[in-house]
């Protein structure tokens, strides 16, 4: 059964458009929560309250929880000027914009992408048409992404260079919201990350990318698998591998096998989790080569393997199933021959690579 929320006449049009200037202050996020994590510390309204009040009133009455700045030095401040909208909308969730960032004490601005977690522009209904706990959803996305990017920074030596965007910190800012002849102040969170000058695989597959040489597309696929295995080796699971979250740099221009490919970048860490071995970023800051306490409750020591697991073990049955239009056509379809074509490529590409990856652990039989 779905619900119809009350009208919301005070909800303003989404403001995150070119020209908006934001005065931001560095911010300590809440601990990540959700799947594989503790529950949020956010004090949500009851469901009866949630379904009876407009979205604007909910966001104002039940704001983000307050966190304490944990460092001795004061937080940095910066002025952000939005110059372009990447993905902005009334019910989109996190807003993505390009901005010029001028930090306090700097002479020149830098270009960055701001990912803004404003609960007022999250969809007010969930996937089954129930009212959404929007503040809770925004806080979850924010906390998980900060955790992921901090972890990637802390374990840089274990990561594939350039596979994740550079990270420029977590921030907060205030917006005023007119409500019944009053000006109400809202605190909103954001992160700043590198502006990737490339294109997502989803955008290149309209309707498909078969005009790009197959060897180029397979090179992109190989870079995806390599980058993921190194993230998992560092104990990070991104959990949202999809064409919309993979960017290729630069944007391919010609359907030739000589097309330059400098980077493949995995974006969007709003669903990321740390795997057993490291359950918080503080552990990963200590060391990236020794023994670590597993905080999963079993009390064992975790030894980081010297090399990542082999992609053959992890992706043997995957076949790039969500990448139709990018993967070779002979991999498509639920047939024995399609699986053989994919598995043969996977084995030839990674199976004998014991320099970058550990030897294959499982027995894989090619049914040729």
* CA Rg value for the chain: 22
227 contacts 177 by C-beta, under 8 angstroms: no
Percent helix, strand, coil in the chain, to 5, is 25, 25, 50
Contact yes or no for 101/110 (Cβ under 8 A): yes
How far is it, in rounded angstroms, from Cα 225 to Cα 241?
A: 10
How far is it, in rounded angstroms, from Cα 308 to Cα 358?
Answer: 6
Q: Specify the pLDDT at position 23.
A: 98
Tokens of 22: 């934001």
Q: What is the distance between the alpha carbons of residues 121 and 123, in angstroms, rounded to a whole number?
A: 6
* pTM strictly above 0.95: no
Residue of 111, 23, 8, 6 whose CA lies nearest to 75? 23
Q: What is the pLDDT of residue 129?
A: 87
Q: Evaluate whether 201 touches 323 at the Cβ level (below 8 Å).
A: yes
Q: What is the C-alpha separation between 295 and 183, in angstroms, rounded?
A: 45
Predicted pLDDT of residue 289: 38
* pLDDT tens series, the chain, 368 aa: 568 889 999 999 999 999 999 999 999 998 887 654 445 666 789 999 999 999 999 999 999 888 999 999 999 999 999 999 999 999 999 999 999 999 999 999 999 999 999 999 999 998 888 999 999 999 999 999 999 999 999 999 999 999 999 999 999 999 999 887 889 999 999 999 999 999 999 999 999 999 999 999 999 999 999 999 999 999 999 999 999 999 999 999 876 656 678 899 999 999 999 987 644 444 444 443 334 444 333 444 567 889 999 999 999 999 998 999 999 999 998 899 999 999 999 999 999 999 999 999 878 876 55
Structure tokens at 221: 């696929």
* Cis-peptide into 207, omega within 30 deg: yes
The 199-200 sheet, strands edge to edge: 199-200, 246-249, 263-266
Identify which of 307, 119, 328 has the alpha carbon closest to the alpha carbon of residue 212: 328
Distances (CA, A) of 204 to 200, 278, 333, 351: 7, 36, 21, 29
> Which pair of tokens denotes residue 351?
């199976």
In DSSP terms, 172 is beta-bridged to: 25, 189
203: part of which helix (H) or strand (E)? helix 201-204
Cβ atoms < 10 Å from Cβ of 179 = 15
The secondary structure of 138-165 as a DSSP string is HHHHHHHHHHHHHHHHHTGGGSPTTSS-
- Local structure of 348: helix, strand or coil: helix
């Amino acid at each position: 059964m779905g619900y119809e929320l009350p009208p919301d006449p005070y909800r303003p049009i989404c403001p995150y458009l070119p020209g908006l200037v934001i005065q931001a202050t560095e911010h300590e996020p809440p601990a990540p929560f959700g799947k594989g994590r503790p529950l949020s510390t956010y004090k949500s309204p009851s469901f009866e309250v949630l379904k009876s009040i407009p979205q604007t009133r909910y966001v104002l009455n039940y704001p983000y929880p307050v966190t304490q700045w944990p460092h001795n030095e004061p937080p940095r401040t910066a002025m952000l000027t939005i110059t372009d909208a990447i993905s902005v909308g009334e019910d989109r969730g996190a807003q993505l914009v390009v901005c010029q960032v001028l930090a306090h004490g700097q002479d020149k601005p830098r270009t960055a992408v701001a990912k803004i977690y404003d609960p007022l522009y999250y969809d007010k209904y969930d996937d089954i048409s129930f009212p959404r706990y929007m503040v809770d959803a925004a806080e979850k996305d924010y906390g998980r992404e900060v955790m992921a990017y901090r972890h990637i920074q802390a374990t840089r030596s274990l990561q594939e260079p350039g596979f994740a965007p550079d990270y420029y910190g977590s921030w907060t800012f205030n917006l005023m919201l007119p409500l019944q002849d009053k000006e109400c102040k809202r605190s909103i969170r954001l992160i700043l990350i590198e502006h990737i000058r490339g294109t997502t695989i989803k955008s290149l597959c309209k309707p498909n990318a078969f005009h790009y040489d197959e060897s180029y597309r397979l090179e992109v696929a190989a870079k995806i698998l390599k980058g993921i295995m190194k993230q998992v080796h560092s104990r990070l699971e991104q959990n949202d591998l999809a064409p919309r979250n993979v960017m290729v740099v630069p944007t391919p221009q010609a359907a030739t096998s000589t097309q330059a490919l400098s980077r493949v970048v995995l974006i969007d860490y709003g669903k990321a989790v740390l795997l057993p071995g490291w359950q918080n970023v503080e552990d990963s800051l200590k060391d990236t080569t020794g023994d670590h306490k597993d905080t999963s409750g079993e009390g064992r020591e975790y030894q980081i393997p010297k090399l990542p697991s082999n992609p053959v073990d992890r992706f043997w049955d995957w076949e790039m199933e969500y990448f139709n239009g990018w993967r070779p056509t002979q991999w498509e379809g639920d047939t024995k021959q399609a699986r053989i074509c994919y598995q043969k490529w996977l084995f030839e590409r990674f199976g004998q690579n014991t320099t970058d990856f550990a030897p294959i652990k499982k027995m894989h039989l090619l049914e040729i």
